[in-house]
Chain A
Amino acid sequence: MSETVLSASGVRKSYPSGDRRIEVLCGADLRVAAGESVSIRGESGSGKSTLLNLLSGLDAPDSGEIRWDGLAPSAGRRARFLGMVFQSFYLIPELDALQNVLMAGRMLGSPGAESRARARDLLERVGLGGRASHLPAQLSGGERQRVAVARALMNSPSLLLADEPTGNLDERTGEAVIDLLLGLSRETGTALVLVTHNPAHAARTGRALTLHDGLLR
């Protein structure tokens, strides 16, 4: 068995709602091996995004444990360990495509020629080599998401977390983005956790899980 890059055990999370608390996650367990692709499906409000926020270390569980390469998540390690792709792309509007990709690299220090070459290479690999100097406003939705994928891979992370990356795209473009994510994840040996509503997309991952009643099955 390959090395575990991400583990979550007995993760619980609840939110206050009026005078009571709603338990969103009730002891979810997950183990993702290096290079593995896992999809998580679930109904709206089932806690998929909450789980992803916990896995990314952006939020803390009420109880349970999350480990990145066996260590507790921390903001300092996030840039190197983790790449994230969001439904809404979240590109910085003042930066062109190349600089948006490089922004992830800047979190680790001033980018040198090597980083620039890698960012250009990633843009080539997502099919946007010719649009490196375009601002997000000059790109289509699909192209923006491809820039976001390149940005997520910039620091050669061990884990890629994708939160409904096709949610804002049409079917054909969404399909292309999923192809890209799975292909690059396989090619680079990066583990992928894909949160999606789409059963077809989920079926293409190595392991398909469902979040139901706060538990992963």
Chain B
Amino acid sequence: MPWFLYLALKQLFPTGRRFPFFTAISVTGVALGVAVLVIVTSVMGGFGYEIRRMIVQTEGEVQVKANGLMEDPSAVLGMVRASPVAAGATPFVEGPVGAVCNGRPAYPEMRGIDVGSVASVANLARFVRAGRLEDLDDDSVILSWELAQRLGAGIGAEIEVYSPLLFERLKADEIVLPRRLRVAGLFEVGHQHLDSSVAYVTLRAAQELYGLGRAVHGINVRLKPEVGDAEGAQQLQAALPQGAVARPWTHKWESFLWVLNLEKTINFFLLLFIVVIAAFSVMSSLLISVVRKTREIGLLGALGASPRDVALCFCAQAFLIGTAGTAIGVGLGFTVLHFRNQLVQGIAGALQRQDTLRQFYHFTDLPSHTLPSDLILTVVLAILISTLAGLLPAWRAARLKPVEALRSE
């Protein structure tokens, strides 16, 4: 080990005598900054990851749509299913409806699913909390949990459904009656949007409500596990007839994901300032150290150390503080992430605002997903900024003339 690295280590962590106060303060500053960065980037990453999980598990990775209605879905379905990238495909109809139960109105998003093929794309059955997906027929509906609460509808209850088509007929002075559907099940995905405003009906029921005949709005596609979302959409597109478009799930959620990514970038940039401020603390500690150890720096010169090596000794101290702080910060960050739900529930519980949390952040649990690229960026930047903080003290130490340094009081 070069002497400057050895001495840097010894000066930061002196052998078995006193608590290295300056080192501890500097390391703590960097550690807190890194921990906050790890937590925030992981939680922001968790939102994106959970959105993907929720969409992919309920709709598949790719959606095929026509320019308007897809009049002959079976032909397109055949092409999609024949594609080597597709693991499954199912047609769908979707749109807003009005629902009334016990005099309580709601305006959920209706999703018509093909009960026979939906399992090849989405494992909806795992989200059904009451009733069974198999019980869904043309006269029944499966409601999202919160929607059912709002309507006061339990299993077996009847709801009246009004589609936009009924309103069109009303304008033509036709007598229209709402469609009566029996509640066959309740589901909960864990995302506030889906759990509060979605109603599943059969494809045929949805086609009747919207007056589509045999047409559908599109086809949801599950890709094979080894195929990427964008790549799969691209390959499917090549196999589709003119007028049909295959788009990955990210397209539908593009604006949301963009905002999420922007928020994450801004948060990262702002929180990075904690590390920058910690770096100033490192710089301040090392500048004090240069003053306190002026005569030792002179001695090093007398022993044969070059100014460059003296500078490296202080840069090494900044690097070691940065490395130790980053390591502790990463550990602290992951520890907090591990107990994040208990912490958030504890805080929300103390403030009695659990519902607000759910309403605004959509998820029942605080999500977390750490991208390796985010972690690497945090670690590299934290160590780099800390090391840069050592440059000024290093420069000052290297500029000291041994003769004057030895003479200093």
Contacts and interface: CB of A to CB of B under 8 A. Distances in A.
B10 A56 contact: no
Residue of B304, B306, B402 with most partner-chain A CB within 10 A: B304
Contact of B301 (A58, A88, A103): A58
Contacts, number: 67
Contacts of B14: 93-94
A104 B299 CA distance: 10
A58 B11 contact: no
Interface residues of A, number: 29
B306 A90 contact: no
Interface string B194-221: 0000000000000000000000000000
Interface string B1-21: 111001100110011010000
Interface in A38-96: 53, 56, 58-59, 75-80, 82, 84, 86, 88, 90, 92-96
Interface string B68-94: 000000000000000000000000000
Interface string B36-69: 0000000000000000000000000000000000
B15 A96 contact: yes
B406 A86 contact: yes
Nearest to A59: B403
B393 to A, nearest CB: 17
Contacts of B295: 88, 90
B303 A107 contact: yes
B304 A92 contact: no
A92 B302 contact: no
Given A56-B302, A75-B301, A76-B306, A90 B406 contact: yes
Given A75-B306, A86-B406, A107-B303, A92 B296 contact: yes
Interface of A: 53, 56, 58-59, 75-80, 82, 84, 86, 88, 90, 92-96, 99, 103-104, 106-108, 110, 135, 137
Interface of B: 1-3, 6-7, 10-11, 14-15, 17, 295-296, 298-299, 301-306, 401-403, 406
